Amino acid sequence: MTTRKTATASKTFPPSFPLCCRDICKRRSGSFWRKLLVVCLLVVLAKQVFTGGLGSFWSSDPAGFPSDLLFAIDRCSWVEGPSSIEYVPMRVEKNMSSSSSLFFVITSNEKNIFHQFWFYTNAVRHAIEGKVVPLLEQAAHQQGDHRSQGNHKNTSRHVVELHIWVSRDMHWLALILRAYPVGSSRLRLSVTEFTPEASVPGDETATSHTTLSALFKAHPLATPQTCAMMTKHDDASKFFKTHESYQLKDYSVDQFFRDRWVPSIRNSLKLPRLEDICSRKTPKVLYLERQNSRVLIDKATRRRASEVLGQRVRLLGYSFSNVTFDGLSPLEQARLVSDANVLIGAHGAGLTNSLFLPDCSSPRRPSNSTRATETTQVFFPSAIIEVSFRFGWCKTIPGSKIPVYDRKTLLETWHNCPDTKEMERYYNKADYFALSSTLGYVRFVEVINFERGRYSGPGPPYYQNPILTDVLVVESDLIVEELRNLKKDHNYDIFATHSLMALKGTL
């Protein structure tokens, strides 16, 4: 007696696939349902033919495609976010004697490294884990079937080559992606930086870089069946926690990122050994100095905070150095931060480099130790002190047109903000709080600025974005006190000192 297999439909569908058809596909097959499904699909196809062609069934409307990238629209499936890449009909070659090539293209020219990390890191991770890995498993399954049929002429394992192309403006992201822990010898990853087409004329450096159109010409295997392209980020691709996570007390560390990707990044960039940094008797404080905006000014002396902090920090038993990232390459920035124990700075993209702080979260025996009774080293867990102004953040600043805000005005603005719910407002712009929570090994401490200076952005002052200010006035005494707490208690951070809701109540 044979058992008839019931065909099952995929649980995922293209964005344009009607809900009625999805519901039909999930039901058991039968003559009535098959006929209804055929009718539904015919309606869908007819609509696509008359409105945008079959190509838009798998990608967004070509009318919204960037004009400078129209040459690539027939070479790549256009996706609007990482969650939609699963709908791209990618496939691996059936010929088991050769490898398969897949392509993931990010055409954004985002220069802000925080935005690169916040939005695009998870996009690539989703593409690899959600699309490429399943295709790799599919290739292995096909090869197993090929051998089971008695064909043993080719016993080599099938390899999938993933080519990631990013704009050279996103060099920081490229460094991170090159260190992605693929976890399989059957998956080969390469990252290529290209010159945006529009910047080639008159660009003296363009000769040392390739353009996207040149990459497509050099890779004829890039087709809509093997290539996915993102032209902008999607909010759903955020790598770190959201305010809902903290409201639900979901502070779980991203173990993949902490245990696999971060160590791979340190090895790839040849950053200093953890033991040499974590076991210092004199922890190193790296002060991130800004030059043109959000310059930290000491409230008592009205001098730059770095000038006031240096001697006082050294008296606490730290070493102290200040640095500006202006003009430094991403690799130079990474190496500076990776050699520090504490990073101090005003809210800004440069603090994204805190992911390079060493993981000194637990004591370890010396690497050359062979005795179980060897005394463990005392490690100083890494920390970041952010001078933040997020409690003055509001998309619509109600009522006030005062160009200078003291702390009282900032907090009143925050409390009266009509844009968002209370919990959303509390965690808005808490970006490095979220980053530290995701990493799990960087202690986060926050010092709220006392006042901010002149508005330095476009538009009238009452439409001010709090980030667009020339100076932030801060009480250096608070920074010194937090450094003292960090050294006295290795468990000290924003979580250990007070609950999140209690923190809000003390403001």
Task: Give tens-digit pLDDT for 325-363.
Answer: 988 999 999 999 999 999 999 999 999 999 999 999 865
Q: How many CA atoms lie within 13 A of 307 on its CB side?
A: 10
Helix, strand counts (H, E) of the chain: 19, 14
* DSSP label of 17: S
CA-to-CA distance for 342 and 320, rounded, in angstroms?
A: 10
Choice among 120-134, 313-327, 330-344 with the minimum mean pLDDT: 120-134
Q: How confident is the model at residue 131 (pLDDT cuts 50, 70, 90)?
A: confident
Whether residue 179 is predicted with pLDDT greater than 90 in this model: the reply is yes
Q: Are 472 and 453 in contact (CB under 8 A)?
A: yes
pLDDT for position 64: 61
Local structure of 455: helix, strand or coil = strand
* Exposure letters 225-240 (e unless 16+ CB within 10 A, then b): ebbbbbbebbeebebb
Per-residue CA distances from 429 to 21, 243, 414 (Å)? 41, 10, 12
Please give the biggest Cα pair distance in the chain: 91
Q: Which two tokens stand for residue 107?
A: 């055409």
Whether residue 298 is predicted with pLDDT greater than 90 in this model: the reply is yes
Partners of residue 227 on adjacent β-strands: 103
pLDDT for position 81: 65
Q: Are 322 and 289 in contact (CB under 8 A)?
A: yes
pLDDT for position 482: 92
Q: How confident is the model at residue 4 (pLDDT cuts 50, 70, 90)?
A: very low
More confident residue, 320 or 253: 320
What mean pLDDT value characterizes the chain?
Answer: 75
Q: Which two tokens stand for residue 350?
A: 């440069």
More confident residue, 24 or 171: 171
Choice among 232-241, 251-260, 455-464, 471-480 with the minimum mean pLDDT: 455-464
Could you count the other beta carbons within 10 Å of the beta carbon of residue 125?
19
Here the contacts of 394-400 (C-beta below 8 Å, separation 24 or greater) are 394/419, 394/425, 395/419, 395/420, 397/462, 397/463, 397/464, 400/462
More confident residue, 305 or 12: 305
Q: Which two tokens stand for residue 428?
A: 């808005």
Choice among 56-60, 168-172, 368-372, 415-419 with the minimum mean pLDDT: 56-60
More confident residue, 1 or 199: 199
Helix (H), strand (E), coil (C) string for 115-161: HHHHHHHHHHHHHHHHHHHHHHHHHHHHHHHHHHCCCCCCCCCCCEE
Local structure of 308: helix, strand or coil = helix
Torsion 148-153-157-160 (CA) sign: negative
Whether residue 47 is predicted with pLDDT greater than 50 in this model: the reply is yes
Q: Are 391 and 409 in contact (CB under 8 A)?
A: no
**Chain CA centroid to CA 26, Å:** 35
pLDDT for position 285: 97
Whether residue 506 is predicted with pLDDT greater than 60 in this model: the reply is no
Percent of the residues in the chain that have a pLDDT greater than 70, as a whole number: 61
Q: Are 47 and 39 in contact (CB under 8 A)?
A: no
Q: Which two tokens stand for residue 479?
A: 């920074």
Strands 210-211 and 187-195: parallel
pLDDT for position 367: 43
Can you give the pTM of this predicted structure? 0.78
Strands 471-474 and 451-452: antiparallel
pLDDT for position 498: 46
pLDDT for position 304: 95
In tens, the pLDDT along 207-220 reads 445 888 889 999 99
Q: How confident is the model at residue 72 (pLDDT cuts 50, 70, 90)?
A: confident
Q: What DSSP line would sit under 459-475, residue for residue?
A: S-GGG--TT-BSEEEE-
Q: How confident is the model at residue 451 (pLDDT cuts 50, 70, 90)?
A: confident
Whether residue 41 is predicted with pLDDT greater than 60 in this model: the reply is yes
Q: How confident is the model at residue 59 (pLDDT cuts 50, 70, 90)?
A: very low
Whether residue 55 is predicted with pLDDT greater than 60 in this model: the reply is no
Q: Are 301 and 317 in contact (CB under 8 A)?
A: no
* Closest C-alpha among 504, 407, 496, 507 to residue 445: 496
